[in-house]
Amino acid sequence: MHPVIRLVNRNLTISLNKGFLIWQIVFPLIYIFVAGFAYTALIHSVPFGNKSLDYPAFIASGMIGFNIMNSTLISGIIIWNDRRHGMFEQILVGPFTRSHYILSNIYTIGIVGLISAALITAVGYPLFFKSVEFNFYTIPLVVFASVTGSILFGSIASIISTRLQSSEGFNVVINTAFLFFAFVSTAFYPAQGAPEPLSTAFYLNPLTYLVDVVRAGMFGNFSTFVGIEMIVLVVVALILFTISTKLLSKLEI
């Protein structure tokens, strides 16, 4: 078996446990079915391109992007635990190189991102099926968002895990960063009508672009602006991936 495949299998084995799968389903369910219907009394409809979505459909589609981002935390957690428990050194002593380790993390977060997107799509489908407009671009856009978003946010988690030394600092920084990404985005509410500088901050957040691409694919609202968002996602993902790769390649044993 190729070394990268062995490491990917190891990463998935320690990541895709019952606790992780329950968290990936139950946590979004609370937002989709509790917050979604609770806020319907305040938010009757949400504009999205040339369409108008009811709020449960809007938040259910937003949770797909949110869950993709949230699932990539495992990248940072795996690296952090490997460093903390000496597993990183043991892996490099075996028939593995730093390149194998880096590639395995990329494949892991890509696979987990796709699994996460599929789970929330299945769970949230009853809420947005009336608004869905599947077309030729739907699956490619959702897969693109899942893979690109996983690499982007997985790289952020990896960078944080390589730069911090204490577990307290790691937990505070990574949870604060991902909390900001989650709530200062269009995952839960639209940018239109939000006060400045909040609406501007939405578009400084890559999760906004990720969620917009997912919604464009699901609701058939692909536009020039969505195309620009896709380019931004790719560029930011490449930059962050390059940084995280260099940091991992120089990580001291």
Give the other-Cβ count within 10 Å of 212's Cβ: 29
In this prediction, residue 42 carries a pLDDT of 76
Q: Which portions of the chain are predicted below pLDDT 70?
A: 1, 19-21, 24, 127-130, 252-253
- In angstroms, rounded to a whole number, what is the distance separating the alpha carbons of residues 125 and 112? 20
Give the other-Cβ count within 10 Å of 252's Cβ: 7
Do 194 and 172 touch, CB atoms closer than 8 A?
Answer: no
Buried b (16+ CB within 10 A) or exposed e, 94-120: eebebebbbbbbbebbbbbbbbbbebb
Instruction: Mention every residue, 6+ apart, whose C-beta is less than 8 A from residue 95.
Output: 3
Cis peptide bond N-terminal to 197, omega within 30? yes
- In angstroms, rounded to a whole number, what is the distance separating the alpha carbons of residues 198 and 220? 27
In the structure encoding, which two tokens stand for residue 119, read together?
A: 């789970």
Give the predicted TM-score (pTM) of the model.
Answer: 0.85
The residues spanned by each domain of the chain are: 3-249
In this prediction, residue 129 carries a pLDDT of 65
Report the interhelical angle of 73-84 vs 98-128 (nearest 10°): 150
- In angstroms, rounded to a whole number, what is the distance separating the alpha carbons of residues 212 and 172? 28
Furthest C-alpha separation in the chain: 59
* Cα of 89 vs its chain's centroid, Å: 28
In the structure encoding, which two tokens stand for residue 5, read together?
A: 């495949």
Cis peptide bond N-terminal to 56, omega within 30? no
Give tens-digit pLDDT for 221-244. 788 888 999 999 999 999 998 998
- In angstroms, rounded to a whole number, what is the distance separating the alpha carbons of residues 125 and 119? 10
**CB-based burial of residue 137 (10 Å sphere; 0-12 exposed, 13-18 middle, 19+ buried)?**
middle
- In angstroms, rounded to a whole number, what is the distance separating the alpha carbons of residues 21 and 17? 6
In the structure encoding, which two tokens stand for residue 65, read together?
A: 């992007």
In this prediction, residue 87 carries a pLDDT of 84
In this prediction, residue 128 carries a pLDDT of 67
- In angstroms, rounded to a whole number, what is the distance separating the alpha carbons of residues 211 and 223? 14
54: left (phi over 0), alpha (psi -120 to 50) or beta: beta
